[in-house]
């Protein structure tokens, strides 16, 4: 209990250690998942799959390279071009309209909400 909580979260309160661990886990975890997915697909293409009937899956294997690599690179290029078009020609399209309201230093902006414990 206590040892595990202190090791993972850095203590029972939210402080610098907790936020550092939270950021580290949430930053690195998607990269780990993406790498494991790539390794899984690579091994699936190279060695085939396993099934409970014991049938040989060599006839289902397809080569992984170069067609799929070129196709994936083309998809990434198209997505980057779409994103660049969106950012360069329509920069305010995905923005928040609250960013354009004039600042009023006499009151708190509506997007800033007090914490639940206040």
Q: Any idea which residues carry the catalytic annotation?
A: 45, 49, 71-72, 115
CA distance 23 to 28: 8
DSSP state of 99: G
H helices of the chain, where?
A: 2-9, 16-47, 67-89
3-state SS assignment for residue 7: helix
């Amino acid at each position: 209990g206590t040892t595990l909580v202190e090791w993972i979260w850095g203590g029972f309160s939210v402080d610098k250690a907790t936020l550092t661990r939270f950021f580290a886990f949430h930053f690195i975890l998607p990269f780990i998942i993406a790498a494991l997915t790539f390794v899984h697909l690579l091994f699936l293409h190279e060695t085939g799959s396993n099934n409970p009937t014991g049938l040989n899956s060599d006839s289902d294997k397809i080569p992984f390279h170069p067609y799929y690599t070129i196709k994936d690179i083309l998809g990434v290029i198209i997505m980057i071009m779409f994103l660049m078009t969106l950012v360069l020609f329509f920069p305010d399209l995905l923005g928040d309209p609250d960013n354009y309201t004039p600042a009023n230093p006499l009151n708190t902006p509506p997007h800033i909400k007090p914490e639940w414990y206040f």
